[in-house]
Amino acid sequence: MSSLLQGKVALVTGGSSGIGTAIVRILAREGAHVAFTYRRNKQGADDLLAELESTGSKARAYHADMADFARSQEVVDDVCKAFGTLDILVNNAGQNQDSVIWKMTEAAWDEVIATDLKGVFNYVRAAVPVLREKKSGRIITVSSINGLRGRFGQSNYAAAKAGVIGLSKTLAKELGRASVTVNVVCPGLIATKMVEEMPDDFKQKALEEIVLGRIGSPEDVGELIAFLASEKARHITGEVIKVDGGQYI
């Protein structure tokens, strides 16, 4: 086990699959105690929890809807009670319900905004008092390159992902004096179940945008987040870092 994050306590939202699972595994590998939330994938959460415990890592899983403000406070409170503190918050949970704007329903708009934008506010609002009191901490939010450039058929998703960038830059200004850094990671096309289920022509078109010529892995995102969560990144805040193989260029 590495010592990059030895003894730190991290909370990762949406940790039971895809990029979230990679983040949880890597933070635990680097020595952190890791709690994570999940909404639908209980089996994935149980499997990940068992995997972490089998390696000697301290871990906890919480069933939670990102849009539930009260539940976010409950989760943060329990993490602090179980582990004694909280050092790292990774806002990873998200969803998409794609549609062109003239066909998008109010429900599809509201649900994506509630999870991908309000959900980040919920967990930040719950965690910040702890981090300010400690006068240290890391907040890292997973956005998307589509929050920077927009994408046809993703007005709700792109709006939410752009919103967390503005939120994070503001938080970096507000929390700097408390030595809490706030950064954003923007993945491009990453090999997750959602990407596997994409139509082949859509996937090929996205792949052609990537100058490195390959789809990224969840671990590519997780390794950057582990670095940003560490003391090695102590002088980095307010940044938006793409993990996209040059897809945005």
Domains in the chain (CATH in brackets) are 9-242 (3.40.50.720)
Q: Find the mean pLDDT for residues 49-55.
A: 94
* Interstrand relation of 88-91 and 59-63 (parallel, antiparallel or unpaired): unpaired
| pTM of the entire predicted model | 0.95
Catalytic residues: 157
**What region, left, alpha or beta, does residue 18 occupy, with left being phi > 0 and alpha being psi -120 to 50 degrees?**
left
**What region, left, alpha or beta, does residue 31 occupy, with left being phi > 0 and alpha being psi -120 to 50 degrees?**
left
Q: Find the mean pLDDT for residues 4-30.
A: 97
d(CA 162, CA 184): 11
In the predicted model, is pLDDT for residue 2 greater than 80?
no
